[in-house]
Structure 1
Amino acid sequence: MAKEIERKFLVLSDDWRPLATSSTPMRQAYIASMDDRSVRVRTRNGTSAMLTIKIGQNLRVRDEFEYPVPLADAQELMTLAIGRVIEKTRHTVEHGGFIWEVDVFEGVYEGLIIAEVEMRSETDDPALPAWLGAEITGDRRYSNQSLAIEPSPTEFKHGLSH
C-alpha cells in the first residue's frame, strides 16, 4: 500500500523561481469526493494522465494509489468533474535533500502559490526554505480537493491568502 506523507506551506516570495529544475502544466478534477477519500484525474503537459485514489482523514499521511489512464479518458472524465477543474503549473525545487513541489495556480485561484514536500517517513524533518510562509498542512481549505469542490473563497482569488 502506498502512503503519501507531506507537509504544505504558503509561499511568501519568488526566491524559489531561479532554483526550479522543472515546470509542468497540470489540469486536475475530482470525480468522487468524500470527507475521507477522493478520486482525482490529472493531466500533465497535455500529454499524459493519471487516476489517483486517496483515502484517509489525516491530510499529512494518507493512502494513495495512482494509475496511468489514456489521455482521452482523462479529458472525458474532466467533463464529468465535481466542481471546477484546477489549473496550475508545478515547479520542482531541491532544498536540503528534499524535492519541493511549488504549485502556481491559475484561473479562479490565480495568485495562490503552495509548496509541498513529500517525506519518506513521518519522522523526517526537512529544512524549510526561507521563501516559505505559514504551514497549511491539515488546513482543508488549501487541499486541492477543497479548491476544486468548495465555493472559491474571495481571499484566494488574488493571492491575498499570503
Structure 2
Amino acid sequence: MATEIERKFLVTGDGWQSTTPTYYCQGYLNRDKHRTVRVRVAGEHGFLTVKGITTGASRAEFEYGIPLDDAKALLTLCDGPLVEKLRHVVEHKGMCWEIDAFLGDNEGLIVAEIELESEAQELALPDWVGAEITGEARYYNSNLAAVPYKHWGHPAE
C-alpha cells in the first residue's frame, strides 16, 4: 500500500515566488471522510487519485495517470465546485516544497505542503512558512470544494 506522509502550512511571505507555476484543476467523485476519489488536471496531465482517512500526517494514497481528455471529461462528473490553483515547486535545504496559490472561490489562500519519509523526519522551515495546518480538515482540498475559503467569513489563522 502506498502511504503519503505530508505536513501543511499557511504561507506568510513571498520568498517562494521564484518559480513558474503549473495550473491545477481538480474535483471529487467521492468526498467521504474515510476515502476521497479525486480527478485532477495538472498542466497537460490527467490523474485519478484515491486517498484514505488521515491519521496524524499519514494516509493511504493511490494515484494513477490517465489520459488528459478522460480527466477533463471526469471533471464534469465531480461533486461540487472544482478547486483551481497555481502550484509552485520550490526547493529549500534539499527538500521539495509545493506551494498552492488557490484561485476562484478559494483565492487568497496559499498553502505549502511537504512530503516526508516519516512523521518524525526533521524539517527546516523556510521563512515564508507560517502556522502549521496539518490535520485541519477545513484546509483539505476536498473540503475547499464543499466550503470554499471565501465563505469562511474570516481570514485564515
- TM-score by length of structure 2 reads 0.93
For residue 155 of structure 1, report the CA deviation from its aligned partner: 6.1
Report deviation, 1:23: 1.9
Q: Cα distance, 1:153 vs. partner?
A: 4.4
Q: Which residue of 1 aligns with 2:14?
A: 14
* Equivalent residue number for residue 58 of structure 2: 61
CA distance in 2: counterparts of 1:116 and 1:144, whole angstroms? 12
Give 3-state SS (helix, strand or coil) of 2:46's partner. Answer: strand
Kindly provide the amino acid, as one letter, of the partner of residue 161 in structure 1.
Answer: A
Segments of 5+ residues of structure 2 without an aligned counterpart are none
Who is 1:82 aligned against? 79
Q: Deviations over 1:38-97 (max 9, x none)?
A: 00011111x210100001232610010011111111111111111111110110111122
Question: In structure 1, what is the equivalent of residue 135 of structure 2?
Answer: 138
Mind listing any 5+ residue stretches in structure 1 that lack a counterpart? none
Work out whether 1:35 is the aligned partner of 2:30: no
Alignment of structure 1 residues 91-110 onto 2, 5 Å: 91-110=88-107
Partner of 1:127: 124
Aligned residue pairs: how many? 157
Tell me the distance in 2 between the aligned counterparts of 1:111 and 1:28.
18
Letter in 2 for 1:39: V
CA contact (8 A) 2:106 2:150 kept: no
Identity of aligned residues (%): 46
The secondary structure found in structure 2 opposite 1:74 is helix
TM-score (norm 1): 0.90
Q: Is the 8 A contact 1:2 1:65 kept in 2?
A: yes
Give SS of 2:70's match. Answer: helix
CA contact 1:60–1:137 (8 Å) conserved in 2:
yes
Structure 2: distance between partners of 1:24 and 1:59: 28
Q: Distance in 2 between matches of 1:97 and 1:38?
A: 31
Counterparts of 1:29 and 1:59 in 2: how far apart (Å)? 24
Q: Superposition RMSD on alpha carbons, in Å?
A: 1.7
Alignment check: 8 A CA contact 2:105 2:150 kept: no
Q: Tell me the CA shift for residue 154 of structure 1.
A: 3.6
